Amino acid sequence: MELIDFFTDYTLRTITLGTAVLGAICGMLGSFAVLRKQSLLGDAISHAALPGIALAFLFTGLKDSNVLLLGALISGFIGTVWIRGIVTKTHLKTDTALGLILSLFFGFGELVLSYLKKQPDANQAGLDKYLFGQAATLVQSDVIVMIIVTGISLVVMLLFWKEFKLLLFDKNYAMTLGFNTRFIDGLISFFIVLAIVIGLQTVGVVLMSAMLLAPAAAARQWTNSLGTMVILAAVFGTFSGVFGTGISASYNNLSTGPVIVLVAAVFVGVSFIFSPSRGVLFKQIRLIRNRRDLELKKTLYFMYGIVEKHEDISRPHSIKILNGFQGFTRGTLKTLSDKSWITIKGQDWSLTEEGFQTAANLYNTNMPES
């Protein structure tokens, strides 16, 4: 597999375009799922789609992906409605409802699939691809469907941007402003289900939720703006699709879905560690820096306490009298003198005018505004 094949190989180009578009729509709508704290809903919906695929084939005998995905869409929806029903009508919590529906539907789907496998004609072969996905089976018409769905959800998202944001942040308040929150909620759910369903052929029911959540979770690390988050998630999703397809095409036998999901996971990992404001790495660095700074200022303040009692602030004092104070090291003394807050002569130190002023104003900065 050479790089040049990427641009000349028709099949590969179709697949790459498909996974890229899929990554984009999943990242975009996944952001809403994450912010709605319904990350697991995606998992339940994708598993709930499996019986729809199996039954669609059982009844129609067709293997056309559009027919099967329509079945997936319907059973995905039934699953979503049942989850809601369980949560509102019983005392069970959302996680229980999700777990119940997920395994119930998935189990039923597997049952129908195993029944189909026992049939004498081999026509049903290939339905298995919906479990883990098989990007290689994407054809141009599939990609066109993906592009159309992505286009529609983009337009709807832009139209209802304000309403989506309001609902996600404060649903009750949205109600008092006169917005039909059930409609907005339903609209978001509808498009999330749609995104999941069109991804089933490529990524499969088992891994689909990662496709939805990983780009969004990664994007959340880098920004504090909803708009930027959605765009970034779409970009991460697109790159996951393109890189994943590229890698799996370079190693002949790797299936595309898992590779795409792993690439997305790399985005998540890198974001968790390296994001400047929320990343683990910089948080740790900031923590250490702040502690050092605090240590330094405490030492300075301790010196200030000694110096304050004398009239001449520049009077030298022995370093030994600092020994009783915890947190002071040779290093601290050196840093203090580098900042020209103190001067060191032999075994004595003395505060400079600047150091005296700094120490005097150290803890006056935490007054409330206004």
Residues contributing to the site for another protein (CB under 8 A): 35, 37, 159-163, 165-166, 168-170, 172-179, 220, 223-226, 228-229, 368-370
Residue number, 112 or 184, with CB nearest to another protein: 184
Least gap, CB of 109 to another protein (angstroms): 34
Nearer to another protein, 160 or 190 (CB): 160
Cα separation, 56 vs 342, whole angstroms: 81
Within 13 A of 159's CA, how many CA atoms are on the CB side?
9
Q: What is the number of helices (H) and of strands (E) in the chain?
A: 16, 3
SS3 for 211?
A: helix
CB of 369 to another protein, least distance (A): 7
Q: How far is the CB of 161 from another protein (least distance, A)?
A: 8
SS3 126: coil
CA distances from residue 159 to 152, 163, 178 in whole angstroms, order as listed: 11, 9, 18
Dist. CA 357–CA 93, nearest whole Å: 59
| Residue 46 vs 221, nearer CB to another protein | 221
Closest approach, Cβ 156 to another protein, in A, equals: 11
CB of 152 to another protein, least distance (A): 16
CB 30, CB 260: distance < 8 Å: no
CB-based contacts of 73: which residues, under 8 Å, 6+ apart?
Answer: 49, 52, 193, 194, 197
In the complex with another protein, the residue whose CB is nearer, 88 or 361, is: 88
Nearer Cβ to another protein, position 15 or 157? 157
Going across the sheet that includes 342-345, the strands are: 317-318, 348-351, 342-345
> Closer CB to another protein, residue 181 or residue 357?
181
208-220 helix and 181-203 helix, angle to the nearest 10 degrees: 120
Smallest gap, in angstroms, from Cβ of residue 216 to another protein? 11
- Tokens coding 79: 């699953």
Residue number, 161 or 274, with CB nearest to another protein: 161
Q: Which CB sits closer to another protein, 19 or 153?
A: 153
CA distance 187 to 274: 34
How many angstroms separate the Cα of 303 from the Cα of each of 86, 282, 300, 332, 348? 66, 31, 5, 12, 12
Least distance (Å) from another protein to the CB of residue 177?
3
Question: Please, which residue, 112 or 219, has the CB nearer to another protein?
Answer: 219
**Which two tokens mark 13?**
């180009």
Shortest Å, Cβ 269 to another protein: 20
Question: CB of 124: closest distance to another protein in angstroms?
Answer: 45
Which structure tokens are listed for 105?
């539907």
Helix axes 256-274, 280-307, angle to 10 degrees: 10
